Amino acid sequence: MVYIEHGQRNPSLTTLINLARGLHVQPSRLLAVFDAEQWTFPEASSPTQD
């Protein structure tokens, strides 16, 4: 699972179906197209000094 999460492996169709079952969603929900510009990731912050 970690390899899939980190983009190092592509899940098989069987794996996607099993994940969808575990999440109680339709498999198509896992394959839904999204607008990448809507997804933002916080920048790593460095510790601040007081």
CA dist 41 and 13 (Å) reads 28
48, part of any domain: no
Q: How confident is the model at residue 18, as a pLDDT?
A: 93
In the block, tokens 């896992």 appear at 30
27, part of any domain: yes
| Residue-wise pLDDT tens digits, 2-41 | 777 777 777 788 988 999 999 999 988 887 766 666 666 5
pTM of the prediction?
0.53
Q: How confident is the model at residue 43, as a pLDDT?
A: 66
18, part of any domain: yes
Considering its fold, how many domains does the chain have in total? 1
CA dist 16 and 14 (Å) reads 5
The whole domain housing 24 covers 2-31
21, part of any domain: yes
pLDDT bin (cut points 50, 70, 90) of residue 48 is: low
Q: How confident is the model at residue 22, as a pLDDT?
A: 94
